[in-house]
Amino acid sequence: MVESAKTDKMSTAAKKETPPKLGVPANDELEFREAYAYAGEAFQLIDRYKTPPFPSTFALWYAYVSKANESLVTTVDHMLQKGSVPSPYEINELCKAHLADREAEEAQQDIGREFQQELAGVLSLIQESVNSSDKFAAALDQIEEVLPDAGAPDRVQLLLTRLMHENQRMVAQTHDLNVGLRESQKQIEKLNRELEDVRHQSMRDALTGIANRRAFDSRIDNEIQQAEATGNSLCLALADIDSFKRVNDTFGHRVGDEVLRIFASVISENIKGQDLVARYGGEEFAIILPRTEMASAFSLIDKIREEFFSKELILRNSGKTLGKISASFGISALEPGLSARDLIEHADRKLYEAKNCGRNQVRAEGIN
CATH of the domain at 109: 1.20.1270.60
Same domain, 71 and 29: yes
| β-bridge partners, 321 | 314
Least confident of 103-107, 336-340, 358-362: 103-107
83 with 142, same domain? Answer: no
Task: Tell me if residue 10 falls in helix, strand or coil.
Answer: coil
Model pLDDT, residue 16: 40
What confidence tens digit (pLDDT) does each residue in 178-237 have? 666 677 667 666 666 666 665 656 788 889 999 998 899 989 999 999 999 999 999 999
How far apart are alpha carbons 256 and 12 in whole angstroms? Answer: 10
- Residue 2 within any structural domain of the chain: no
What is d(CA 69, CA 61) in angstroms, rounded to the nearest whole number? 11
Same domain, 57 and 69: yes
Please provide residue 366's backbone torsions phi and psi, each rounded to the nearest 5 degrees.
85, -5
Kindly tell me if the per-residue pLDDT of 159 is higher than 70: no
Distance between CA atoms of 6 and 203, rounded to whole angstroms? 29
Residues 82 and 112 in one domain: no
Residue 320 is which amino acid?
K
123 and 92 fall within a common domain:
no
Burial of 55 (0-12, 13-18, 19+ CB in 10 A): exposed
Gap between the Cα atoms of 137 and 169, Å rounded:
12
Same domain? For 89 and 146 the reply is no
8 A C-beta contact, residue 362 and residue 298: yes
> 329, 363 in Cβ contact below 8 A?
yes
Q: How many domains does the chain have?
A: 3
Domain boundary among 33, 68, 100: 100
Is 355 a residue whose pLDDT tops 90? yes
CA–CA dist 95, 188 (Å, integer): 33
Within-domain flag for 8:
no
Task: Please report, for the domain that includes residue 256, its CATH number.
Answer: 3.30.70.270
| 31, part of any domain | yes
Is 293 inside a domain boundary? yes
Q: Is residue 207 situated within a structural domain?
A: no
Where residue 31 falls among pLDDT bands split at 50, 70, 90?
Answer: low
344 and 250 fall within a common domain: yes
Residue finishing a domain among 50, 72, 100: 100
Whether 10 is in a domain gets the answer no
CA distances from 299 to 302, 305, 364 (A): 5, 10, 11
Length of the chain: 368
> Side by side, which strands form the sheet with 234-241?
276-281, 284-290, 234-241, 327-333, 362-364
Q: Please name every residue paired with 239 in a beta bridge, in sequence order, or none if there are none.
A: 285, 329
Give which of 73, 79, 86 is closest to 46, Cα–Cα: 86
Last residue of a domain, one of 182, 202, 222: 202
The continuous run of DSSP H or E covering 288 comes out as strand 284-290
How far is it, in rounded angstroms, from Cα 253 to Cα 56?
Answer: 17
Does residue 259 sit in the same domain as residue 243? yes
- What range does the domain containing 87 cover? 18-100
Kindly state whether residues 218 and 344 are assigned to the same domain: yes
User: Does residue 323 sit in the same domain as residue 306?
Assistant: yes
Phi, psi of 256 (to 5 degrees): -55, -40
Which pTM does this prediction carry?
A: 0.58
On whether the CB atoms of residues 328 and 239 are closer than 8 A, the answer is yes
Q: What percent of the chain has pLDDT over 90?
A: 35
Same domain (yes/no): 245, 298: yes
Closest among 198, 172, 287 to 239, alpha carbons compared: 287
332 residue type, one letter: S
Q: Which residues pair with 268 in a beta bridge?
A: none
Distances (CA, A) of 208 to 26, 280, 305, 311, 318: 37, 12, 18, 18, 24
Is 134 a domain residue? yes
Task: Please indicate, yes or no, whether residues 279 and 346 belong to a single structural domain of this protein.
Answer: yes
Q: Taking residues 81-91, report their average pLDDT.
A: 79
Task: Read off φ and ψ for residue 352, nearest 5 degrees.
Answer: -75, -20
Whether the pLDDT of residue 37 is over 90: the answer is no
d(C-alpha 110, C-alpha 118), whole Å: 12
Average pLDDT over residues 338-342: 93
Whether residue 244 lies inside any domain: the answer is yes
